[in-house]
Amino acid sequence: GDSVTQTEGLVTLTKGLPVMLNCTYQTTYSPFLFWYVQHLNEAPKLLLKSSTDNKRTEHQGFYATLHKSSSSFHLQKSSVQLSDSALYFCALRELSGSFNKLTFGAGTRLAVCP
Amino acid sequence: NSKVIQTPRYLVKGQGQKAKMRCIPEKGHPVVFWYQQNKNNEFKFLINFQNQEVLQQIDMTEKRFSAECPSNSPCSLEIQSSEAGDSALYLCASSRDWGSQNTLYFGAGTRLSVL
Q: What is the pLDDT of residues B72-84, one digit of tens each?
A: 899 999 999 999 9
Domain span holding position B53: 5-97+105-114
Q: What is the mean pLDDT of residues A6-23?
A: 97
Give the number of other CB atoms < 10 A from CB of residue A82.
10
Q: How would residue A97 be classed by pLDDT, with cut points 50, 70 and 90?
A: low
Number of domains in chain B: 1
Q: What is the mean pLDDT of residues A29-42?
A: 92
Per-residue burial over A59-81, b if 16 or more Cβ lie within 10 Å, else e, is eeebbbbbeeeebbbbbebeebe
Q: Are B109 and B89 in contact (CB under 8 A)?
A: yes
Q: What is the pLDDT of residues B26-49, one digit of tens each?
A: 998 999 999 999 999 999 999 988
Q: Which of the four CATH numbers 2.60.40.10, 3.30.450.270, 1.10.600.10, 2.170.120.12 does domain A3-113 have?
A: 2.60.40.10
Find chain A residues with C-beta within 8 A of B109's C-beta: 43
Å between A95 CA and nearest CA of chain B: 5
Q: Is B54 on the interface with A (CB under 8 A)?
A: no
Flag the least confident range among A67-71, A94-98, B2-6: A94-98
Mean pLDDT of chain B: 91
Structural domain boundaries of chain A? 3-113
B13, pLDDT greater than 70: yes
User: Going by C-beta distance under 8 Å and a sequence separation of 6 or more, which residues neighbour residue B24?
Assistant: B4, B5, B6, B74, B75
Flag the least confident range among B4-13, B45-54, B105-114: B45-54
Give dist(CA A57, CA A85) in Å, integer: 21
Given B2, B93, B101, which is nearest A51 (Cβ)? Answer: B101
pLDDT, residue B60, reads 67
Q: What is the CATH number of the domain that holds B27?
A: 2.60.40.10
With a CB-CB cutoff of 8 Å, which residues 10-49 of chain A face chain B? Answer: 32, 34, 36, 41-46, 49
